[in-house]
Structures are given as structure tokens and as C-alpha cells.
Amino acid sequence: GQSLEQPSEVTAVEGAIVQINCTYQTSGFYGLSWYQQHDGGAPTFLSYNALDGLEETGRFSSFLSRSDSYGYLLLQELQMKDSASYFCAVRASEKGSQGNLIFGKGTKLSVKP
Amino acid sequence: EAQVTQNPRYLITVTGKKLTVTCSQNMNHEYMSWYRQDPGLGLRQIYYSMNVEVTDKGDVPEGYKVSRKEKRNFPLILESPSPNQTSLYFCASSPWDRVYEQYFGPGTRLTVT
């Protein structure tokens, strides 16, 4: 089967750095995406890695290692507004289709003062 | 303003009463998809559409129907809702070549009693 594993909760303090890991088991892997969702809101896209390495977007960076089926989201200079749930997602094609998106169960990040 | 809209935002209904949740996007996106979100289970894909008249099952399609007669609209139909379909539903869209970057609607909270 296809699955993504990420920690359910992470706590960090304001100004710190936090890393949210995601390991995946899928077929037809096309790349790893990350989404942020605040309580009561809709998910919003953060970043995408199709190839191995680090992608940086401001305070957020995302990393992918295809050989290890592993990626992470790195949040630097944490702010209170970063308190949210973070989801990794992969586009898989176990059934031969190209539009099947699979999400992890999410990591709830709590940023403390 | 570029957006995905869903209606209704909140719905309470009874078992067996057919309902439709509408989804519309104004970004000329080819790809559209429906997800349900349940506590502890993350986002699970119900159906998706790569373009007009092209739909395919996601991971949890049982009990749902979709149609894609126009590019901008992708309604979700529950022919005979049951209590286990009580959930938060999100519609999303993207260009066909950026499926990893989904734009989500605000969500529809459905309760089936």
C-alpha cells in the first residue's frame, strides 16, 4: 500500500528552528509537497521537491532524499503565527493514474513564547 | 480574486437525503479534486478530475459521485448520505502540470444524522 508517516505533534519556542519529517512509501513517485493549515482554515501550499536536495522559501525550507524515501520541512525563526498543522503529500500512480494525491496525517506544531 | 468557492459552507442533513456540494474555481485550472478531512486521518482524496469529462477515483470514493461537465465546476454528490460521511470536505484545483500545488476552497462541514 501507499503511506506517508509524519510525527503527530511538535512543540518549539519562538525564534527556534524546527524540523518536521516525512517518510513515504508509494509507487510512481513524482515529488513531495508541503501544506500548512491553521485551525479552522483551508490547507495552503508551502513548497515542493521533485528532485533531491534543499528548496528554500524565506524562513521555510524543504528537503528531499528519493533514495531514502524521506523529506522534511524546516521552519526557522519560528513565530507564533507558525502554530498550525503541516502536511506532507505525494502524487502517486499506483493505479496508473496521474492525479492521485496522498496526504500524511499531519503534524500539529505548537509555538510557545 | 483568484479563488475556489464551495457551497454550502455548513450543512446538517439526515441519513438518505441526497445532497450536492458545489465547487467552482475561476483560475481556469484543468485539475480539480475533492478531499475529506477527519480528526487524526489527515486529508483523504475522494475523486479527482484531470480535465472536463475526465474523472477518477481517489482513495475513499465509496458513497460519492462527481461530474465534470464544465471546466470551472466540480460538484460532489452524496446520493444517500450516511453518518460515516460526517466530515469536513475540501475542494481544490490546480493547473494540470502543477498538481503538487493545490489551491483549496474554504471547506464544507457536513453533518449527517
CA A99 to chain centre: 19
Q: Please check whether residue A101 is in contact with residue A30, taking contact to mean a CB–CB distance below 8 angstroms.
A: no
User: pLDDT tens digits, residue range A72-96?
Assistant: 999 999 999 999 999 999 987 655 5
Contact B99 A35 (CB under 8 A): no
Contact B41 A105 (CB under 8 A): yes
Beta strands B10-13; A100-103: pairing state? unpaired
Contact A44 B104 (CB under 8 A): yes
pLDDT-derived band at A27, boundaries 50, 70, 90: confident
CA distance A104 to chain B (A): 6
For residue B108, the one-letter residue type is: T
User: pLDDT tens digits, residue range B45-75?
Assistant: 999 999 999 999 999 999 999 999 999 999 9
Which residues are within 8 A (CB) of A53 and not within 5 positions of it... i.e. 6 or more apart? A63, A64
Strand order in the sheet with B19-25: B4-7, B19-25, B76-78, B65-66
Mean pLDDT of A21-30: 88
Which residues are within 8 A (CB) of B8 and not within 5 positions of it... i.e. 6 or more apart? B21, B108
DSSP SS3 for B85: helix
Q: Please check whether residue B106 is in contact with residue B7, taking contact to mean a CB–CB distance below 8 angstroms.
A: no
What pLDDT is recorded for position A93? Answer: 65
pLDDT-derived band at A99, boundaries 50, 70, 90: confident
Q: d(Cα A81, Cα B17) in Å, to the nearest integer?
A: 40
CA distance B18 to chain A (A): 25
End-to-end CA separation in angstroms for chain B: 36
- In whole angstroms, how far apart are CA A49 and each of A3, A38, A67, B28, B73? 18, 22, 14, 24, 29
* pLDDT in 10s for each residue of chain B, 113 residues: 889 999 999 999 999 999 999 999 999 999 999 999 999 899 999 999 999 999 999 999 999 999 999 999 999 999 999 999 999 999 999 999 999 999 999 999 999 99
CA B113 to chain centre: 20
Q: d(Cα A22, Cα B98) in Å, to the nearest integer?
A: 21
Which among B44, B57, B104 has CB closest to A42?
A: B104
What rounded mean pLDDT belongs to chain A? 93
Return the residue in B51, B97, B102, B108 with the most chain A beta carbons within 10 A, the one to mutate for interface testing. B102
Residues of chain B with C-beta less than 8 angstroms from the C-beta of A105: 40-42
Residues of chain A with C-beta less than 8 angstroms from the C-beta of B99: 91, 98-99, 101
Cell of B24: 467552482
Residues of chain A with C-beta less than 8 angstroms from the C-beta of B107: 42
Assess A71–B contact: CB distance below 8 Å, yes or no: no
CA A29 to chain centre: 15
DSSP designation for B102: P
What rounded mean pLDDT belongs to chain B? 96
